[in-house]
Structure 1
């Protein structure tokens, strides 16, 4: 990825910005069709028959779950405007009787493997697949070299016989000088309510889930892409991919053929929506609150 200083290249999309908190306010209005892709959740199964002296159960299995699995287990309904808080009854995560635990949905970040899967559809739907613009919100901690490091304190009991030290935390990858200068000084792409920087990229780069490791965008070793684009569009303006930082779903806006291809791809959990769709927490009027 290469810093892009010509923020005027996004003026065409700014002119199409729709209402706040609506699909068109995130991905732009006027496209033929829209698909909403739900960000999968991390799940783990623990062995409830075994626990250590602190009451912790050992982990036996991990998986990536679609929202439909959580909805099925929690007797909720899947539909185009479904919200995570609604299908989990306002819980951030859920635990089930068979030992499975579902974590929190990911906001503002489309998993790199799913972005790579979508890249094939996106590349086929533009005349300029190697001339893409990626917009990143400047508030990401990774872009500002902030860390989530910690100091581990142990008691004498914990460091005694039989105690095992936790694995060493991963090292932080630095933000490149070019990206740092762009984040610090701009120029900025001023999407409504979101200040972003622009970088040049292409379908070949994004089709590799590990592109983030050499992108200069910072993050942690072992995490292939700590931040993913809030907006992505081709020079031909045929489509937009949008991941609003406060939403746990990504929008693909484009032609009827592109959206149909995304909806038919079993690697993603997707629904068709329209530009006026409300994807705030209150937008799910099907899974209403129930008594605990």
Structure 2
């Protein structure tokens, strides 16, 4: 490219060296654990739950996983999975539970309010919030990036080929899709000092963060996010919930 490609506050990069550390340390995708998404080099890890939504007249309200679990007689715990706390596979991407929730948690992209809140908290845990790296899966539909240009290097994370961008931490809320209402944000972001790392896989309804013990404790204690502490060995799949019964039948 003759000129740098920018979108919002982010600039597309062709030098992959800032991402070498993540590509070199992430675990094999077949392990199906947090360490496949967030490099297993941090002192502590957290799981950020994407909220479901409830339509109340003209208002839209967020519904926590804890509220859904309690209403369905299920247990709230760090490894809970959406099909297990709702009791049915059909609630994965459609349908609803009247009066409880109308739209399931967003899959593959951290909702904008949660992204903004997470960025504000994490700003205190890096000395250079103005210099961060962001990676987005090249397979997202509607990306407003030159994904067809094979000359642009990719960040090769386990089972995910990603485009690398840079910008200030505040750009974590930037939608990289066109039209912007598709709302597809970067799935991996970290500051230049690698003090923490955030990952949202394209197939998951939750986001994972690695950082210091203090950083993760702050996230867990925050009353504007639904966060629970996990480990780098925390399982990612629907079968990771060992406390709630799995839904009957086969996953569609």
Give TM-score scaled by structure 1 length: 0.75
What is the distance in 1 between the residues matched to 2:125 and 2:203? 27
- CA drift of 1:100 comes to 4.3
Q: List per-residue Cα deviations over 1:219-263 (Å, max 9, x = no partner).
A: 335x3x711111101111111000011111101101111101111
Alignment of 1:200 onto 2:166: yes
3, 6, 11: which is aligned to 1:2? 11
8 Å CA contact 1:70, 1:102 repeated in 2: no
Alignment of 1:218 onto 2:177: yes
Partner of 2:40: 29
User: Cα 1:41–1:276, aligned 2, differ >3 Å: closer, same or farther?
Assistant: same
139, 149, 166: which is aligned to 1:184? 149
Partner of 1:127: 127
Partner of 1:94: 96
- CA drift of 1:291 comes to 6.9
What is the distance in 2 between the residues matched to 1:114 and 1:140? 20
Partner of 1:275: 232
Q: Which has the larger radius of gyration?
A: 1
Partner of 1:136: 136
- Residue 25 of structure 2 aligns to a residue in which SS? coil
User: Cα 1:100–1:133, aligned 2, differ >3 Å: closer, same or farther?
Assistant: same
Partner of 1:67: 65
8 Å CA contact 1:44, 1:100 repeated in 2: no
- CA drift of 1:7 comes to 1.1
Listed as ranges, the gaps of 5+ residues in structure 1 are 46-58, 144-174
203, 206, 211: which is aligned to 1:246? 203
User: Cα 1:183–1:267, aligned 2, differ >3 Å: closer, same or farther?
Assistant: farther
Alignment RMSD: 2.0
Listed as ranges, the gaps of 5+ residues in structure 2 are 1-9
What is the distance in 2 between the residues matched to 1:138 and 1:288? 35
